[in-house]
């Protein structure tokens, strides 16, 4: 652990020409990692909302060597993410509300201990406990074998340790914080994707933004898929919690989900034997393509909302895993380029996107912790406006059979 802080002026690095301090926590190019590390607004002598940022290297079990960065804002949110696991968000807390869930997997598993191919491509389940995990970018969706190649559940990004991690704090109030991490999916002859992930947060706020930029560095067009698998359990998810979003249509993912189609947007209490129901949604958006989806508790005074851009992420999957608490009582709100069918089906049905050589694609999602009835109502109103007069169209037939 180095105790000196390397502060740099990074004015030229970003589009907005603000002055900022930055810290390099990890850099594969020079082979360095700061290990355990911390800063605070107090230490930096910044006025305004107090905050601290800490990187910690974990030990024990299969999390040996995993790193977690925790951003703490006294009056706002505490956000934990893991550079070892694709910069995925572990959990977010604030105002007594938790965005996240309780998975049976209770460690931050180092991908070195995960075999994505195990259980016929379900190895991803050995590490799944995040509030938000990037499912991509070479492929996403349920596993499938094609020509002997096993396309494992939800791709590799979520089990890819970040090659470069940096923290940027704006000099000017309100001292926006950016936690940036670089994910590489580089395989000779197969893929040359880099994704700069960024979490943006203003201390004291109830929202944060994920801004990712995926680039195809190869000289050939490359298919890509991404699902932002965002997961919420108690205290938001509960009996009669509701999912809200402006949608054009809803269809069951498979035959099992058909029987839940009528009540697709309300939740049951933890239910033994429920397993999971998945619904494919086509979101409605405003003129700029912006939309929002949220899960809110039964009283309507707690929730989690995700704003996203349908030009970037045109599809939305709703995952209702309202089995028992111990099984992982959780719902997934999953904006994406794709549904969760295997890549073979997504390709066949024309939903897989492509990047040309050198081309980049940005993905921007704003997550808001809805701490009270007022915050919930604001989102409800926005959904209502976007939905307009047309009720969602319920399609009986699944788009595909796996």
Q: Which residues bind its own copies (CB under 8 A)?
A: 26-29, 31-33, 56-65, 68, 103-107, 110-113, 115-120, 122, 125-126, 128-129, 145, 147-150, 160-164, 182, 184, 186-192, 217-220, 272, 323-328, 357
Residue 63 or 338 with smaller CB distance to its own copies: 63
The least CB distance from residue 47 to its own copies, in Å, is: 32
Residue 118 or 381 with smaller CB distance to its own copies: 118
The least CB distance from residue 100 to its own copies, in Å, is: 14
The least CB distance from residue 342 to its own copies, in Å, is: 13
Residue 126 or 309 with smaller CB distance to its own copies: 126
Pick from 283, 273, 160, 277: nearest CA to 212: 160
The least CB distance from residue 310 to its own copies, in Å, is: 29
The least CB distance from residue 291 to its own copies, in Å, is: 29
Asked whether the bond before 137 is cis by omega within 30 degrees of 0, the reply is yes
Instruction: Count CB atoms within 10 A of the CB of residue 324.
Output: 13
Whether residue 216 contacts residue 356, with contact meaning beta carbons closer than 8 Å, is answered with: yes
Query: What residues contact residue 100 under an 8 Å CB cut-off, 6+ apart?
Result: 89, 90, 91, 92, 93, 130, 131, 231, 232, 233
The DSSP secondary structure of 155-216, one letter per residue, reads: BSGGG---SEEEEEEESSTT--EEEEEEEEEEETTTEEEEEEEEEEE-TT-SEEEEEEEEEE
The least CB distance from residue 67 to its own copies, in Å, is: 9
Whether residue 182 contacts residue 339, with contact meaning beta carbons closer than 8 Å, is answered with: no
Local structure of residue 267 (DSSP, 8 states): -
Residue 33 or 301 with smaller CB distance to its own copies: 33
Residue 10 or 58 with smaller CB distance to its own copies: 58
51-57 and 290-296: which strand pairing?
unpaired
Residue 42 or 324 with smaller CB distance to its own copies: 324
């Amino acid at each position: 652990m180095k105790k000196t802080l390397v502060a740099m002026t990074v004015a030229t690095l970003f589009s907005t020409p603000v002055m900022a301090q930055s810290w390099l926590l990890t850099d594969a190019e020079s082979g360095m990692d700061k290990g355990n590390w911390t800063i605070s607004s107090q230490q930096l002598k910044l006025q305004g909302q107090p905050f601290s940022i800490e990187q910690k290297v974990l030990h024990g079990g299969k999390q040996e060597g995993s790193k977690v960065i925790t951003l703490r804002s006294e009056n706002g949110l505490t956000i934990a993410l893991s550079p070892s696991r694709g910069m995925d968000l572990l959990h977010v807390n604030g105002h007594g509300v938790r965005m996240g869930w309780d998975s049976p997997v209770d460690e931050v598993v180092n991908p070195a201990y995960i075999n994505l191919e195990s259980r016929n491509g379900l190895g991803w389940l050995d590490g799944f406990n995040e509030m938000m995990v990037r499912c991509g970018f070479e492929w996403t969706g349920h596993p499938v074998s094609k020509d002997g190649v096993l396309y494992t559940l939800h791709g590799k990004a979520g089990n890819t340790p970040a090659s470069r991690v940096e923290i940027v704090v704006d000099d000017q109030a309100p001292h926006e914080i950016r936690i940036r991490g670089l994910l590489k999916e580089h395989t000779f002859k197969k893929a040359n994707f880099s994704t700069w992930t960024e979490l943006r947060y203003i201390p004291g706020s109830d929202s944060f933004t994920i801004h990712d930029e995926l680039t195809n560095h190869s000289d050939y067009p490359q298919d890509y898929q991404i699902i932002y698998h965002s997961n919420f359990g108690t205290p938001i998810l509960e009996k009669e919690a509701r999912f809200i979003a402006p949608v054009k249509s809803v269809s069951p993912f498979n035959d099992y989900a058909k029987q839940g189609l009528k009540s697709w947007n309300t939740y049951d209490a933890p239910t033994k034997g429920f397993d999971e129901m998945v619904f494919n949604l086509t979101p409605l958006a405003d003129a700029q393509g912006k939309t929002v989806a949220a899960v809110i508790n039964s009283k309507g005074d707690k929730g989690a909302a995700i704003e996203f851009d349908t030009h970037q992420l045109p599809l939305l999957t709703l995952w209702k895993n309202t089995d028992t608490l111990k099984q992982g009582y959780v719902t997934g709100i999953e904006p994406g380029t794709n549904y969760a069918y295997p890549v073979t089906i997504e390709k066949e049905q024309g939903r897989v996107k492509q990047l040309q050589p050198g081309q980049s694609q940005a993905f921007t999602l704003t997550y808001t912790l809805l701490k009270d009835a007022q915050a919930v109502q604001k989102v409800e109103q926005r959904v209502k406006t976007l939905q307009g007069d047309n009720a969602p169209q319920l399609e009986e037939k699944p788009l595909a059979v796996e």
